[in-house]
Structure 1
Amino acid sequence: MRADLHSDDRLPAYARLRDALSSRVASVEWGPDEPIPSEARIAKEYAVSVGTVRKAVDGLVAEGLLERRQGSGTYLRRPSFDVTLFRFFQLHSGDGAQPSIPSSKLILRARAEAPTEAAAALGTSDVIHIVRLRSLADQPILYETLYIPAARFEGFEAVSDADMGPLLYPVYFEHFGVLVKRATDDLSFGAADSETARQLQLAPGDPVAIIRRTAFDLEGVPVEWRIARGSAAQFHYRSDIG
């Protein structure tokens, strides 16, 4: 039996249990392909009702930390929302349908010293530097430079290309136990430098949209800083209010 519902006693039991389970998720107690214990087992461990467990788990599912798989159990949700950068760009394939996952060409990954802006965001200058070109329907759309703390991602340079895939957040989770919980995007505009222009098939000086993203783990610690550039001619922003 566990006795570590240590959060504020003024909170209801389900909320304290949700916090306890969230801490266990953050410590990567369960792997990406391993279901968390059954509701009955958790209820026994914490000496609470199954209904309390169900409500706590429902909260973690709603927050995107867990996912229920029909007939299989409840698992850690594989993070994949780094594809959301593409919500800002409107590209379509020949049949008019927008591809759901962009392709990714890895140009560079190496241990490096972070530039000032990345070091300030991550709290360290000892990083792994990643450069990628992202495409939709074989058309370049984003040229990305990323930095991740070397201490959290020791051995990232040795991960095989076959294991990288088009999205990095699942790689962070499955290989290094780093679960991205949220990210902050800052948008601005500028002119394409020569390398950005070459990668995106633009002319130097063409206008580009610039997205600076800081991604955080479950405990709010920054685990990635990236800057992505795409053609401003393809940029699209929409906000629904009310």
Structure 2
Amino acid sequence: MGEQPPYLRTADVLRRRVAEQEWTSGDRLPSRAQLAEELGVGDNVIRRAQELLISQGVLEGRAGSGTYVAEPRERLRMVRSQHREQRGGSPYRADMAALGRRGAWESRTEAKVPAPPEIAGRLGLSEGDLCVRTSYEFLADGRPVQLSISWEPYDLTAGTLIVMPEGGPYAGKGVVERMAEIGVAVTHAVERPEPGEADADEATLLGVPRGALVTRIQRTYYSDKGQPVETADIVVPAALCEIVYEVPVNP
């Protein structure tokens, strides 16, 4: 393996100084020029190192003032569990209520959207088959904490009361409960989490810096017949939320 880039080594140095309380919450860091001279690196290295630590919630930038050690922030605990699907209603709203938060979301649905290749593969469709696509911005006490883009096969729900996930009498009920209304029993979901960085659009929606660390979760729900009925790409900002998986154990 090659040597770490200078900005990563510099970020480690700055992070260690914060951890060792050389600088504490609310302290203003020396200027970039001062840090560059002290550490023997260029201003650009300091800038990239600080941007990384800002994206991780260690530092915060204040326009026209400088860079400061961030105040500790309580991260939301996002539990991924089979039990969240057994409560009825919205699993997300129930999750937030359990944390003493007000859960809500904003959404935009488009019907009859041709499935791109990856989505078609995840849903067992042919490329270009029609889907219902819904974009979500999930809020906790009015603050954005999660994004999701959901895809459902149009032929599965066309002509039913659940064809629009956020419209009609079953709006906001969650995939499991909605599918049950048309006789489709959803038995399990498969999730694949991986680390990533927020792109420009995600950063704007979540209120985090571009390039901030996020967890991307690719989730697909399956029926008792093994048919994929919904797939989604979920984005959770690491600085605001921690993701915990609850695994059932049969005695």
TM norm structure 1: 0.55
What is the aligned partner in structure 1 of residue 190 from structure 2?
A: 184
Across the two proteins, how many residue pairs are aligned to each other?
160
Residue 129 of structure 1 and its aligned partner are, at CA, apart by 1.0
SS state at 2:109 partner:
strand
Tell me if the contact between 1:79 and 1:170 (Cα under 8 Å) persists in the aligned partners.
no
Structure index of larger Rg:
2
Unpaired segments ≥5 residues, structure 2: 1-81
The counterpart of 1:165, out of the listed 172, 177, 181, is 172
Residue 85 of structure 1 and its aligned partner are, at CA, apart by 11
Residue 218 (1) aligns with residue 224 (2): yes
Give CA-to-partner distance per residue, 1:141-179, whole Å, 9 cap, x none.
1110011111101141497356412634322322x3323
Tell me if the contact between 2:186 and 2:224 (Cα under 8 Å) persists in the aligned partners.
yes
Give CA-to-partner distance per residue, 1:160-207, whole Å, 9 cap, x none.
356412634322322x33232110110001111122112211122111
What is the aligned partner in structure 2 of residue 8 from structure 1?
A: none
SS state at 1:109 partner:
strand
Unpaired segments ≥5 residues, structure 1: 1-62, 65-76
The counterpart of 1:202, out of the listed 197, 205, 208, is 208
The counterpart of 2:243, out of the listed 236, 239, 242, is 236
Q: 1:185 to 1:84 in 2, by over 3 A?
A: farther
Residue 110 (1) aligns with residue 117 (2): no
Give CA-to-partner distance per residue, 1:192-225, whole Å, 9 cap, x none.
1122112211122111110100100111111111
Give CA-to-partner distance per residue, 1:66-105, whole Å, 9 cap, x none.
xxxxxxxxxxx97759737998xxxx78xxx614883221
1:135 and 1:123 map into 2 onto residues whose CA distance is 31
2:202 and 2:168 map into 1 onto residues whose CA distance is 23
Tell me if the contact between 1:79 and 1:180 (Cα under 8 Å) persists in the aligned partners.
no
1:154 and 1:101 map into 2 onto residues whose CA distance is 32
Map 1:123-142 to 2 at 5 A.
123-124=124-125, 125-142=129-146
Q: Looking at both structures, which has the greater relative contact order when contacts are Cα pairs under 8 Å and sequence separation is at least 6?
A: 2
Tell me if the contact between 2:170 and 2:178 (Cα under 8 Å) persists in the aligned partners.
yes
Q: 1:216 to 1:99 in 2, by over 3 A?
A: farther
RMSD value, Cα? 3.6
The counterpart of 1:148, out of the listed 132, 146, 152, is 152
1:177 and 1:104 map into 2 onto residues whose CA distance is 27
1:213 and 1:222 map into 2 onto residues whose CA distance is 10
Q: 1:237 to 1:191 in 2, by over 3 A?
A: same
2:109 and 2:206 map into 1 onto residues whose CA distance is 16
Structure 2 letter corresponding to 1:160: G
Q: 1:201 to 1:113 in 2, by over 3 A?
A: same
Q: 1:238 to 1:184 in 2, by over 3 A?
A: closer
SS state at 1:133 partner:
strand
Tell me if the contact between 1:99 and 1:136 (Cα under 8 Å) persists in the aligned partners.
no
Give CA-to-partner distance per residue, 1:15-44, whole Å, 9 cap, x none.
xxxxxxxxxxxxxxxxxxxxxxxxxxxxxx
Residue 83 (1) aligns with residue 91 (2): yes
Identity %: 21
- Runs of at least 4 residues off by over 4 Å: 77-82, 84-87, 238-242
